[in-house]
Chain A
Amino acid sequence: MKTIKLGDAALSTILYTGLTLFSLFTLYPFINILAVSLNDKIDTIRGGIYLWPRVWSTQNYAEIFANPHLFGAFLMSVLRTVVGTALGILCTALFAYALSTKEFMYRKLLNGMLVVTLYVNGGLIPTYLLIKNLELMNTFWVYILPLLVSGFYIIIMRSYFETLPEGLIESAKIDGAGHFQTLFRIVMPVSLPVLATITLFVAVLHWNSWFDNFLYTSREQNLSLLQYELMKILLSAMNQSAGQQAHIDESTINIANPQSVRSAMTIIVTVPILLVYPFLQRYFVKGMTVGAMKE
């Protein structure tokens, strides 16, 4: 039937054009920000920077890295991400392994405890009071401890561990390996897809966090994160353009055109993710679907 064939060809054209446009629509804002960040900041005020800088300049980046406060925030973000991710993966793997071990006496109870956390949580204010009572305010650990256990990630990893052939773990036991050895020497090395997936998720979570910084560490300037600094610049720029009494933190900005510096900072905050994510992508589709499909 000729008409149908013709319809299919038209459909293909629409499909490929549509998806190409959609990809450009997703990418454009990043390209635009990059162009603005690499443009001279006085020139940027004239507007009209879209895909390419008009007057090249790396001044915006230089200013950020020359600012000890912002540079400190950058280091703090890196530290938080590294420590939080390493400890988070260790805890998730330990818990997931124990819960995937069929003989474990408290398996059912602990699984139940974990599932409840997926649906019930105390909410903003009770959590705030808890953090305050634990005296975690204005400490580095307020970034790490509350995020160490995530029911969702543990369940995904547990589901993956359960798909491993039983013979693999049996043979380790026959060779005299304890549970710790079995986990670190046998189970984790063969679970790369799910480990890569959860690592990416946890790292992104830590890298992107700013609200705990905002809520729990107001006075302690040394604990400031890059995302939070970016957010402060954004809000002050917004209040300025809204013609209100600007609330500018002197330590953060003393810069003529915040838009350029804001764009440069946005790029600095985005690039680490763009660097790691493509390498982990092939794993996470697999890791996600294995975990999700089993549930």
Chain B
Amino acid sequence: METKLDPNSIRPVGRPSALRAWAQKTVAQRELLLMTVPLIGLVIVFNYLPLYGWLIAFQDFKVARGISGSPFVGFENFQQLFKDPHFFRVLRNTLAMGFLNLIFGFLGAVGLAIALNEVRVRWFKRSVQTITYIPHFVSWVVIANIAHVLLSPDGGLLNDLMTGIGLIGEPFYFMARPDWFWGINTFFYFWKEVGWNAIIYLAVLAGVNPDLYEAADVDGAGRMRKIWHISIPSLMPVAIIMLTMSLGWVIQSGYESQYLLGNSMVIDYSEVLDLYALRYSFQIGDYGAGAAISIFKSVVSILMVLSVNYFAKKTGNGGLF
């Protein structure tokens, strides 16, 4: 749809050159172009220019000399990383916490959505939803503070409960125990996000044809049967898409919770790739290794999505693309 028909654009002889047509279109759509110009700039600068920084993963990067002045060293940074046993411990932590969050977050969200879908009292359903969304909007700084108060050895609820029922003799310092870190991290992730993650599944369940449930009623199916044979199968397509997408994110999964909940006593279990990259770059001054970690993460992430998608297709469960 042209907004204005310019009489000059109707040329009696010949055809307008491609350049002219383009120029006319540009003039006609100047408002739309004006709307997008600042944002094109921002996307290029803040989303695409950092990709240029990937080059330093292949360089012996010196801040003073910049990307153009630093010598290329090939895959040396990567080799150095893969030789470092520390790197594999950090990778293990990243993957372990990523998968724990994925599994518990997914099961919790699906479970909560199914349970809420069974609730017939509207105000009750609404209230539960409102309450369970709250932690999603709160920062990890707040969550970490809550965690420290709850788990504190002097007067924290969990310690009081456990000593109260005689499970432990004296207060236990949860945050200082490396073997508890993954559990604590997963627990607070679950607490923060489960209500929010349930939204998408609730929307799917709300869209299920009610005839299906009525037909099942007629056949004498109980609640459990209806959940098993109607609700869960209806969730499957969306659940598979969500899982496929989140698998790609397993290795990307944040650093905020690990930074804020962790401390020097649990660092062997709390340090994840991004924090490791940060430490490498700022404490040791090796930016190349930091960038190499970013690239490594992206590559693993893409490979994961592609392979999960491949298997989803093979097993006849659709897949993303």
Contact = CB atoms under 8 A, between A and B. Distances in A.
B119 interface: yes
A47 B154 contact: yes
B110 interface: no
Interface stretch (A57-65, A66-74, A259-267): A259-267
Contacts of B132: 22-23, 26
B209 interface: no
Nearest to A230: B141
A242 B263 CA distance: 9
A123 B293 contact: yes
Contacts of B260: 231, 234
Nearest to B188: A29
B278 interface: yes
Chain B, interface SS category = helix
Contacts of A106: 33, 36
Interface in A56-94: 91, 94
B42 interface: yes
Contacts of B25: 105
Contacts of B223: 7-8, 11
B31 A179 contact: yes
Chain A, interface SS category = helix
Contact of B297 (A123, A127, A178, A208): A123
A50 B157 contact: yes
B144 A234 contact: yes
Interface in B113-146: 115-116, 118-119, 124, 127-128, 130-135, 137-142, 144-146
A237 B152 CA distance: 11
B290 A124 contact: yes
A274 B136 CA distance: 11
A239 interface: yes
B212 interface: no
A208 B38 CA distance: 26
B291 A32 contact: no
B203 A269 contact: no
A272 B152 CA distance: 26
B46 A146 contact: yes
B189 to A, nearest CB: 14
A97 B291 contact: no
Contacts of B156: 47
Contacts of B200: 289, 292
A36 interface: yes
B256 interface: yes
Given A32-B150, A125-B53, A130-B49, 9 more contacts: A30-B146, A106-B33, A122-B54, A134-B45, A145-B42, A180-B31, A234-B148, A263-B145, A289-B200
Interface of A: 1, 4, 7-8, 11, 15-16, 18-20, 22-23, 25-30, 32-33, 36, 44-50, 91, 94-95, 97-99, 101-106, 110, 113-114, 116-117, 119-130, 134, 145-146, 148-149, 151, 173, 178-180, 183, 200, 204, 207-211, 227, 230-231, 234, 237-239, 241-242, 244, 259, 262-263, 266, 269-270, 273-274, 277-278, 281, 285, 288-289, 292-293
7 contacts: A91-B38, A106-B36, A123-B293, A123-B298, A179-B35, A208-B141, A269-B142
